Every structure is written in structure tokens, then in C-alpha cells.
Structure 1
């Protein structure tokens, strides 16, 4: 077992805890933060699997997904606050 396998397991555990928080979160902000954790955990999981499998193809996919997730987080924050800055 390599160190990267432990990292993969830790990310999966964090995603499972965040998924539970999505289901039981008392507010929309809690659910939004947990969904960001799940999404970026998935991006990290894909990046680590790409590193584990020694492929360079996932780099572009990870960058686009990270940018999309960042913009989605901003949009969700704007939606929750009602458009106030």
C-alpha cells in the first residue's frame, strides 16, 4: 500500500462525511458548503488517481472542473445571500 492510497481513502472518507452533511444540514449554507467539499473532493480524487495511474490526461479535466466548481460556489453564495455583496 502506497501513501497515495491512504490519501485516496482519506478523501473518500471526507466525501462520505460531507454527503451525510448534505442530507442532514439544517440550512442551505451548510448544504452548499458540504456540496463544495464533495465536489472538490471528487476533483482531488480524480487528480490523485491520475497521478497514481501516471497519466497526464486528467490535468486539463481537473483544471476545468476546479474552475467550474469555484464559479458554482460563488453563484451559490450569491444565491444564498440574496444577491447582496
Structure 2
């Protein structure tokens, strides 16, 4: 069977090329690890858009997720005190 890259088109081909170049998460679907999360050093969230929904698991054994909108150039604080900031990412 031929190489799948030869048959792929559009977004699927872009995804395969990204995977081939070493980007194992081209759509940013993996869970981000929290950084310091302070106002001066927030957790950076990549996005191709001006806003993104972020889910914060406030405590390690929490059974719920706090959802919040984070907008470009406006860091946002979760109820638990953790800060998030949107950074620009080039689209796939």
C-alpha cells in the first residue's frame, strides 16, 4: 500500500506533516501542566484565536473542572488563585 501522505489532502495532510516533523500535538489537545501560575508568571496557553476556554483542575483529587474564558492580552485568574495567559500560536 502506498504512503498515506501521498493520499492525504487538506487538514489531514497538514496534520501528518506536523506529526512527521516532530509535533506530536498539532491541535493542542493535550493537557497542559500548570506552571507557577502567579500573576507575574502565569501558565501560558497557546491559541490561534483571540480567546480560548481553559479548564482548571484546582486540586489534585478534584472531581470537577472550573471552566473560564481567557482572552488575548488579558491574563485571567481562576477561583483557586491560579493565573492563565493566552499566547499566540500560528495555525496549522
Please give the TM-score of this superposition, normalised by the length of structure 1.
0.30
Pair member with larger Rg: 2
**When you count strand as a share of all residues, which structure comes out higher?**
2
The structure with the largest helix share of the pair is 1
- The normalised TM-score by structure 2 is 0.29
